[in-house]
Structure 1
Amino acid sequence: MSQTLPAQLTLPATSGHTFSLSDCTKPVVLYFYPKDNTPGCTNESMDFRDAHAEFLAAGCQVFGLSRDSLKSHENFKAKLELPFELICDADETACAAFGVMKLKNMYGKQVRGIERSTFVIGAEGQLLREWRGVKVPGHVAEVLAFVKTL
């Protein structure tokens, strides 16, 4: 599982930041979610928000990522009072690197979208753990329990 990820991956993030794996000096929790302001994504983001202090205490940074615009991310972040940055991947660079784009059924139609997934990346850019096809209830607690073992 210790596959190395693209360190040169650089994407715009909220609060005027730029996210780059190569700039991360601590382990990172990177959660991919389908869309701002949808019920599952809102609940998942609030769960990460509510556990944020525990992630920091475990020496881990948290970032959320979707294909939404920076403006949408800024509004979502402000509305939920998220203490971490949201990353904009409008051109699906990170989605491709992590292989999270899937065909999904929505209202009887096939649509291409992000499969809810979470990755823990070590300080040297190696993939430590991944969760794909995530169900929101209990997920953040499971991720937190893992990062506490690092």
Structure 2
Amino acid sequence: MSEIEVGKAVPNFHAPATGGETIELAELRGKNVVLFFYPKANTPGCSQEGQDFRDANEAFAALNTVVLGISRDGVKAQENFKAKYDFPFPLIADKDEAVCRLFDVIKQKNMYGRQVMGIERSTFLIAADGKLHKEWRKVKVKGHVEDVLAATQELAS
């Protein structure tokens, strides 16, 4: 069960990220944060989702919003993924699944007829005050970034 709930403060977390950074949520207070969880770097759906967020990054930045991608891939895989697609935002390496479990995105999935535990594609919009404004679970990539941007614009108005 997730500790994360719309309208409630999101607990602080810290995790390693690309560029030698450690991302700490509390340090981003005062900015909106889009946290998008994806199953695996360099897979077709995840690559498309990342590119869609990349292409909208300036629009998010204009709305005082930081975009962060996150998966269970290691830092090296995340660095390669970020470089390949020229992502302008950090990618978090959550190898120990601590942040994934906090947001309750580890789910049982069918993969080639086998049951596996993996990340359910999900996005969370955290307002500048640290409270969860909106969440999207079981995300379909097409049109998703537009939905997240619209919700971020609502926060700004």
TM-score by length of 1: 0.97
In the alignment, which residue of structure 2 is the partner of 1:20?
Answer: 24
**120, 125, 130: which one aligns with 2:130:** 125
**Structure 1 segments of 4+ aligned residues over 3 angstroms from their partners:** none
Question: Whole-Å Cα distance in 2 between the matches of residues 44 and 14 of structure 1?
Answer: 18
In the alignment, which residue of structure 2 is the partner of 1:104?
Answer: 109
> Residues 64-103 of structure 1, C-alpha deviation per residue, up to 9 Å, x if partnerless?
0000000000000000000000001100110111000000
Paired residue total: 149
In the alignment, which residue of structure 1 is the partner of 2:55?
Answer: 50
| Unmatched segments (≥5 aa) in structure 2 | 1-5
> Residues 16-67 of structure 1, C-alpha deviation per residue, up to 9 Å, x if partnerless?
1111110003010000000000000000000000000000011110000000
Q: Percent identity?
A: 55
| Unmatched segments (≥5 aa) in structure 1 | none
**34, 38, 46: which one aligns with 2:43:** 38
Question: Whole-Å Cα distance in 2 between the matches of residues 82 and 13 of structure 1?
Answer: 13
In the alignment, which residue of structure 2 is the partner of 1:95?
Answer: 100
- Secondary structure, in 3 states, of the residue corresponding to 1:11? strand
Question: Whole-Å Cα distance in 2 between the matches of residues 94 and 49 of structure 1?
Answer: 22
**56, 61, 80: which one aligns with 2:85:** 80
